Every structure is written in C-alpha cells, then in structure tokens.
Amino acid sequence: MLDKKCPECGGTSFAQGSDYINLRPLNRKLTVGSEKIYTYCTACGEVLSIKIVNPNKLT
C-alpha cells in the first residue's frame, strides 16, 4: 500500500483496524461470520478497502 494515495485528501499514510461486529450472510443469522479488516487514511479517515478475513465462513 506504499504507492497508494488517498482519493479524498491525497494522504499517503494508512492504517488498519476492525470493528466488533462480524459480517454474516443474510440467510444464516445464527452463524459466527467473519471479521472485517478496514484500511483507512490516517489523515482524513477515508476507508480505502474492507477485506473479509475468512470468506469461507460466509458460504
């Protein structure tokens, strides 16, 4: 991600984080689901990507 620029502010410093709610399929509400990893600009907070850690848990 070193060669990326934030489309919002032009910043080049990024960090990763997650939230406390896992992503679950709409039709399987009782599953644990998978964690999401957000990559965001440290200057303005714009989210550049969201990655699903274990996509196989969504099928």
Domain membership of residue 3 (yes or no) is: yes
Question: How many structural domains comprise the chain?
Answer: 1
Domain membership of residue 49 (yes or no) is: yes
Q: Determine the pLDDT at residue 28.
A: 82
pTM: 0.82
The Cα 53–Cα 40 span in angstroms is: 16
Return the exposure string of 12-40: e unless at least 16 CB atoms fall within 10 Å of the residue's CB, then b. Answer: eebeeeeeeebbeeeeeeeeebbbeeebb
Domain membership of residue 59 (yes or no) is: no
Q: Which residue has the higher pLDDT, 2 or 10?
A: 10
Domain membership of residue 5 (yes or no) is: yes
10-58 tens-digit pLDDT: 999 999 999 999 999 888 878 889 999 999 999 999 999 999 999 998 8
Supply the range of the domain harboring residue 47.
1-23+32-54
Q: Determine the pLDDT at residue 3.
A: 73
5-21 tens-digit pLDDT: 999 999 999 999 999 99
